[in-house]
Structure 1
Amino acid sequence: MVCPCGCGDVLVLNLDRNVGTTFWNLRLRESRLTLMPSVWRRDGCRAHFVLEENRVWWYGEQTDTLDTLPSVVERTLKAWWRRLRRKKK
């Protein structure tokens, strides 16, 4: 995918649970995409965001206007990280 911040960089995300320790979950429902957990670029534009039902929710200061993450996304992220931690043990 192309980074939603507008920098033009192409982001490569691992969606395969069987390869590597870090992977993202992509869900498509009624033509709406959700990608969990958040994407956090540690280089380049340093964007940090969640894609939830085709909407980009930003963390940090990479945009002029900051959106507040809705509680449903917050709960989904917390549940995702709990499951991921359990798998690593």
Structure 2
Amino acid sequence: MRCPCGCAERLEMMLLREVKPRWDVSVDSHGHVSLSPSVWVREGCRSHFWIRSGKIVWCD
């Protein structure tokens, strides 16, 4: 996905159980995606956010 801050950085979250770090994805009955744990871009824009029910929730 592209970083939601608008910097256009390409972010990759691994979903394979064998790799670390990895993320878990869930989809609710309305088709809204949630991602866990949070996504933290450690270089560049330094965005830190959750994806909850298809929406970006920014960390302070």
TM-score by length of 1: 0.62
Residues 19-53 of structure 1 show CA distances to partners (whole Å, capped at 9, x for unaligned) of: x2210001112210000000001001100000000
- Say whether 1:44 aligns with 2:44: yes
Match of 1:44, SS state, is coil
What letter corresponds to residue 24 of structure 1 in structure 2?
A: W
Question: 1:66 maps to what in 2?
Answer: none
Higher Cα radius of gyration: 1
1:67-78 mapped onto 2 (5 Å cutoff): none
For residues 21 and 40 of structure 1, the distance between their equivalents in structure 2, rounded to whole angstroms, comes to: 14
Q: Which structure shows the bigger proportion of residues in strand conformation?
A: 2
For residues 12 and 20 of structure 2, the distance between their equivalents in structure 1, rounded to whole angstroms, comes to: 15
Question: 2:10 maps to what in 1?
Answer: 10
Higher relative contact order (CA 8 A, sep 6+): 2
For residues 40 and 6 of structure 1, the distance between their equivalents in structure 2, rounded to whole angstroms, comes to: 15
Over aligned residues, Cα RMSD in angstroms? 0.9
Ranges in structure 1 where 5+ consecutive residues have no aligned partner: 61-89
Match of 1:17, SS state, is coil
Ranges in structure 2 where 5+ consecutive residues have no aligned partner: none
Q: Which structure shows the bigger proportion of residues in helix conformation?
A: 1
- Superposed structure 1 runs of 4+ greater than 6 Å apart: none
